[in-house]
Amino acid sequence: MFTIVMVLVVLGGIGAIFGFILAFANKKFSMEVNPLIHEVEDILPKGQCGACGYAGCAAYAEAVVSNKDVPPNLCVPGKDEVAKAVAEITGKVAEKVEPRIAYIKCKGSIDKAAQSYRYKGIKDCKAANLLQGGPKGCKHGCIGFGTCVNSCPFGALTLSNQGLPEVDSKKCTGCGTCETACPKNVIEMVSVDSLVEVSCNSKDKGAIARKVCSTACIGCGICAKNCSYKAIEVKNNLAVVDTKICIEKCNEATCITKCPTGAIQSARGLSVKNSSNIKVTI
Amino acid sequence: MGEYLTLFMGALLVNNFVLTKFVGLCIFFGVSKSLNASIGMGMAVTSVITLSSMLAWVVYNFVLLPFHLTFLTTIVFVILIASFVQLLELIIKKQAPTLYSMWGIYLLLIATNCIVLSVPLLSVESNYSFVKSIIFSIGSGMGFALALILMASLREKLVYADVPKPLEGTGIAFVLAGMLALAFLGFSGMI
């Protein structure tokens, strides 16, 4: 009996003592949070995408307010408006945010790309990727279960009935969450002003790539030969566009018409540039 | 003096808590990816172990022993350490913000870790005096820090190594930890 009472007294006593000490310490050592942090946090888009390099919007808000060296323009989704507002609150100078947009480097829709087997597992690209690199014959292309669509914090991606994700250019903020979600690295963040993009990710040799997909880049190099500005070259059997040269110099976009498989596509920037410049038939 | 040195070196190398007693393994694998984080974690663990085993010694010898309640040791120590770490976090956050930004985030991770609990438990079990238990805890804390820093340096080098595909990441870390433990076995004849 004595033991039971003592157990209750000792445990209860220790609990009570520490409870009081903690409650007291919580009052005494409570931190006053800089109100600017909340203000900045309210302005940020709260996609929690982490494109700024911090663990979420709250962490970036704290860093940008309390650390002098953290620039106010790190929020990619917020673009210039947010950068300006953050700069105003923190008293820093905002530099321009380079706007970016997600680009799907695969046009191998259901009718164009062959399947190597029928997949009946969980409808998730990462899961499918574990099984022989996915059901698609092309091991570099989009698997098409929409893992990127689910990952997008801004609802900018939709899965078309052709089994490929589509980017809503109005909603896409260029945060890059989908880029990391995609197990095949099919999605890339490109400049919104980019004129042409290679809509293929296949590093296979031409013959193999052509066999599994009718719109693959076969690495023939016709685009590179026809580009008068040397903005395209073929690396690892895949055409790569130097966006900088392309945006600055080119306004005829011969590569699109010359590509035998249609792997080079016009991007968002071309239509904008064309409306003011010359016409291109695509 | 020699007795204290033996105790210290014993806790640091011969009976290294991570590599020969296998406690505190979750931090050992979790935080050993970068050297900076592991130094912070090592410092945090050492100070928390030392302070909490001082506290635990006082409670054990002045409360639990006189009332014959030693069967409550484990549960009382759990409460003590968990609330003490909370308190420490509050104080450091207010009084030393630079220290808090260095290893504050690790403090709460430690609160429920087995190495912090096992050091006070072992030192009361061995009937150490107050000074001895402090030396024992500093030694074992530094032993933990040593193991963590060794592991982190190895894992940073591992980035450049050509690791077989199935062993990448945690797999090779386990292999490494096993080798480190084998190496520490060499100290066992020292004392």
Kindly state whether residues A62 and A144 are assigned to the same domain: no
Q: What is the pLDDT of residue A278?
A: 44
Over the stretch A5-21, which tens digit does the pLDDT of each residue have?
A: 988 998 999 899 999 99
Q: What is the mean pLDDT of chain B?
A: 87
Over the stretch A120-178, which tens digit does the pLDDT of each residue have?
A: 888 889 888 988 888 988 889 999 998 999 888 888 899 988 889 999 888 888 888 89
Task: Determine the Cα–Cα distance for residues A260 and A82; give it in Å rounded to an integer.
Answer: 43
Residues 6+ apart with CB under 8 A from B146: B12, B16, B42
Please determine, for residue A262, whether its predicted confidence score (pLDDT) is greater than 80. yes
Task: Check CB contact under 8 Å for B64 and A10.
Answer: yes
When scoring B59, B67, B75, B95 by the number of chain A Cβ atoms within 10 A, the one with the most, hence best to mutate, is B67
Task: Say if CB A239 and CB A173 are below 8 A apart.
Answer: no
What is the domain extent for residue A70? 35-90
Q: Give the CATH number of the domain where residue A76 resides.
A: 1.10.15.40
Task: Check CB contact under 8 Å for B90 and A22.
Answer: yes
Q: What is the ipTM of this complex?
A: 0.74
The answer to whether position A3 is within a domain reads no
The answer to whether position A174 is within a domain reads yes
Residues linked to residue A189 through DSSP beta bridges, in sequence order: A102
The answer to whether position A26 is within a domain reads no
Task: Check CB contact under 8 Å for A29 and B90.
Answer: yes
Q: What is the pLDDT of residue A91?
A: 79
Kindly state whether residues A134 and A175 are assigned to the same domain: yes
The answer to whether position A11 is within a domain reads no
- Which contacts of A3-10 are long-range, i.e. CB under 8 A and separated by 24 or more positions? A3/B68, A3/B69, A6/B67, A6/B68, A6/B69, A7/B69, A7/B72, A10/B63, A10/B64, A10/B67, A10/B69, A10/B72, A10/B76
Task: Determine the Cα–Cα distance for residues B46 and B51; give it in Å rounded to an integer.
Answer: 9
Task: Give the residue, A111 or A48, on which the prediction is more confident.
Answer: A111
Kindly state whether residues A232 and A218 are assigned to the same domain: yes
Q: What is the pLDDT of residue A197?
A: 87
Please determine, for residue B68, whether its predicted confidence score (pLDDT) is greater than 50. yes
Using the Cβ of B69 and the Cβ atoms of chain A, whether some distance falls under 8 Å is answered with yes
Kindly state whether residues A84 and A107 are assigned to the same domain: no
Task: Determine the Cα–Cα distance for residues A136 and A22; give it in Å rounded to an integer.
Answer: 59
Number of separate domains in chain A: 3
Question: Using the 8-state DSSP alphabet, how is residue A115 labeled?
Answer: B
What mean pLDDT comes out for the span A67-81?
A: 80
What mean pLDDT comes out for the span A185-194?
A: 87
Is the model's pTM score more than 0.80?
no
Kindly state whether residues A62 and A138 are assigned to the same domain: no
Task: Say if CB B141 and CB B49 are below 8 A apart.
Answer: yes
Domain boundary residue, one of A188, A214, A234? A188
Using the Cβ of A15 and the Cβ atoms of chain B, whether some distance falls under 8 Å is answered with yes
How does residue A280 score in pLDDT terms, banded at 50, 70 and 90? very low
Task: Check CB contact under 8 Å for B79 and A29.
Answer: no
The number of beta carbons lying within 10 Å of the beta carbon of residue A162 is 15
Domain boundary residue, one of A156, A188, A220? A188
Task: Give the residue, A49 or A270, on which the prediction is more confident.
Answer: A49
Please determine, for residue A272, whether its predicted confidence score (pLDDT) is greater than 70. no
How does residue A246 score in pLDDT terms, banded at 50, 70 and 90? confident
Q: Which residue of A has its CA nearest to B75?
A: A11
Which one, of A156, A111, A157, A117, lies nearest residue A137 by Cα? A117
What mean pLDDT comes out for the span A183-187?
A: 91
Domain boundary residue, one of A188, A207, A230? A188
Over the stretch B130-182, which tens digit does the pLDDT of each residue have?
A: 999 999 999 999 999 999 999 999 988 887 788 888 888 788 989 999 999 99
Looking at the complex, report in whole angstroms how far the Cα of residue B191 sits from the nearest Cα belonging to chain A.
39
Task: Give the residue, A133 or A271, on which the prediction is more confident.
Answer: A133
Over the stretch B35-63, which tens digit does the pLDDT of each residue have?
A: 888 888 888 889 889 999 999 999 999 98
Using the Cβ of A130 and the Cβ atoms of chain B, whether some distance falls under 8 Å is answered with no
Task: Determine the Cα–Cα distance for residues B16 and B28; give it in Å rounded to an integer.
Answer: 13
Q: What is the pLDDT of residue A282?
A: 40
The answer to whether position A5 is within a domain reads no
Q: Give the CATH number of the domain where residue A212 resides.
A: 3.30.70
Tokens 């193999």 belong to which residue?
A: A208
Over the stretch B4-32, which tens digit does the pLDDT of each residue have?
A: 998 898 888 888 888 888 888 888 888 88
The answer to whether position A29 is within a domain reads no
Q: What is the pLDDT of residue B32?
A: 82
What mean pLDDT comes out for the span B78-101?
A: 83
Which one, of B105, B115, B126, B106, lies nearest residue B81 by Cα? B115
The answer to whether position A6 is within a domain reads no
Task: Give the residue, A282 or B82, on which the prediction is more confident.
Answer: B82
Kindly state whether residues A184 and A227 are assigned to the same domain: no
The answer to whether position A47 is within a domain reads yes
How does residue A269 score in pLDDT terms, banded at 50, 70 and 90? low
Q: Which residue of B has its CA nearest to A33?
A: B94
**Main-chain phi, psi angles of A145, to 5 degrees:** -100, 0
How does residue A274 score in pLDDT terms, banded at 50, 70 and 90? low
Q: Which residue of A has its CA nearest to B73?
A: A11
Q: What is the pLDDT of residue A271?
A: 62
Kindly state whether residues A74 and A106 are assigned to the same domain: no
Q: Measuring CA to CA, how many Å separate A84 from each of A46, A70, A73, A97, A154?
A: 17, 14, 8, 10, 21
